[in-house]
């Protein structure tokens, strides 16, 4: 009975939570309309914390932060809104505003991609299309600069690696040659020692010793087998008495 009651309470709590309305989002919208951006930001943050996968909370929070000239911070909220967005209109708006942030940061290549994705979700938005064309023009007029120092450092690192590689090869070759000479000297010495050392002659005593060892091993093996058989006989279950 207790388990049923606990389960019922859990289900009721889930149902209440599912029906819980977001009171902070509309309040933030009212304050945003009144240009009370700090107050709106606070309510949007509460809404976002309570409804973590709600894209509109992140989008509105990003827009509010953007209005307060915190462009870099707002960028992360628009990215989160894109990740949580479930409809094309939500994705279009988030990508569009992300493009605006990247334009402010003069990341024209990133802005082009953001506006392009916005148009994929809403090809009819003229404002997005205009911003996309502008971002492409700015990218053409301001192409990304190549980092010459970075290329120089890469070449230096490559030359250094090649130099170290050659040194390692030479060391390895010298080491192999030394080992080869040592192995040759050792083989020559072993050969000489073996020549000087008198070779044992096989005799009947050695053969008899080997036969004795084999017999001992066979006897021990037989003892083990006999012991195992005896244990199996002892451990055989007896027929139980009839249970009346």
Residue 43: CATH number of its domain: 1.25.40
**Measured between alpha carbons, how far is residue 62 from residues 38, 100, 121, 233, 238 in Å?**
12, 12, 19, 84, 83
Is 159 or 39 the better-scoring residue by pLDDT?
39
Q: Tell me whether residue 135 is in a domain.
A: yes
Q: Taking Cα atoms as reference points, which of 135, 138, 93 lies closest to residue 118?
A: 93
Cβ-based neighbour number of residue 114 at 10 Å: 29
CATH number reported for the structural domain that contains residue 102 in this entry: 1.25.40.10
Confidence of residue 144 (pLDDT cuts 50, 70, 90): confident
Q: Tell me whether residue 120 is in a domain.
A: yes
For 35, the domain range is: 22-75
Q: Tell me whether residue 172 is in a domain.
A: no
* Claim to verify: residue 42 and residue 68 sit in the same structural domain: yes
* Claim to verify: residue 93 and residue 123 sit in the same structural domain: yes
Q: Which backbone phi and psi does 209 adopt, to 5 degrees?
A: -65, -45
Number of domains in the chain: 2
Confidence of residue 18 (pLDDT cuts 50, 70, 90): very low
Q: Taking Cα atoms as reference points, which of 81, 96, 88 lies closest to residue 44?
A: 81
Range of lowest pLDDT (27-31, 119-123, 142-146, 159-163): 159-163
* Claim to verify: residue 101 and residue 125 sit in the same structural domain: yes
Share of the chain above pLDDT 90, in %: 45
From the centroid of its chain, how far is CA 203? 70
Q: Token pair of 153, please?
A: 């450092």
Q: Token pair of 144, please?
A: 């990304």
């Amino acid at each position: 009975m207790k388990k049923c009651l606990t389960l019922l309470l859990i289900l009721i709590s889930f149902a209440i939570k599912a029906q819980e309305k977001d009171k902070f989002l509309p309040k933030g919208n009212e304050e945003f309309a009144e240009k009370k951006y700090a107050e709106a930001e606070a309510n949007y943050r509460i809404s976002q914390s309570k409804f973590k996968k709600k894209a509109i909370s992140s989008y509105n929070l990003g827009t509010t932060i953007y209005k307060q000239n915190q462009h870099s911070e707002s960028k992360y909220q628009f990215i989160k809104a894109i990740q949580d967005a479930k409809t094309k209109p939500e994705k279009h708006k988030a990508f569009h505003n992300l493009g605006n942030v990247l334009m402010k940061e003069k990341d024209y290549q990133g802005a082009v991609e953001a506006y392009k994705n916005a148009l994929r979700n809403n090809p009819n938005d003229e404002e997005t299309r205009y911003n996309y064309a502008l971002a492409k023009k700015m990218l053409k007029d301001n192409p990304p600069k190549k980092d010459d120092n970075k290329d120089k450092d890469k070449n230096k690192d490559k030359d250094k690696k090649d130099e170290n590689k050659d040194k390692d090869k030479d060391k390895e070759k010298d080491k192999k040659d030394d080992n080869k000479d040592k192995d040759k000297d050792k083989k020559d010495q072993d050969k000489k020692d073996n020549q000087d050392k008198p070779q044992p002659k096989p005799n009947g005593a050695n053969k008899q010793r080997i036969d004795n060892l084999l017999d001992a091993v066979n006897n021990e093996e037989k003892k083990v087998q006999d012991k195992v058989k005896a244990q199996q006989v002892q451990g055989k279950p007896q027929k139980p008495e009839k249970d009346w």
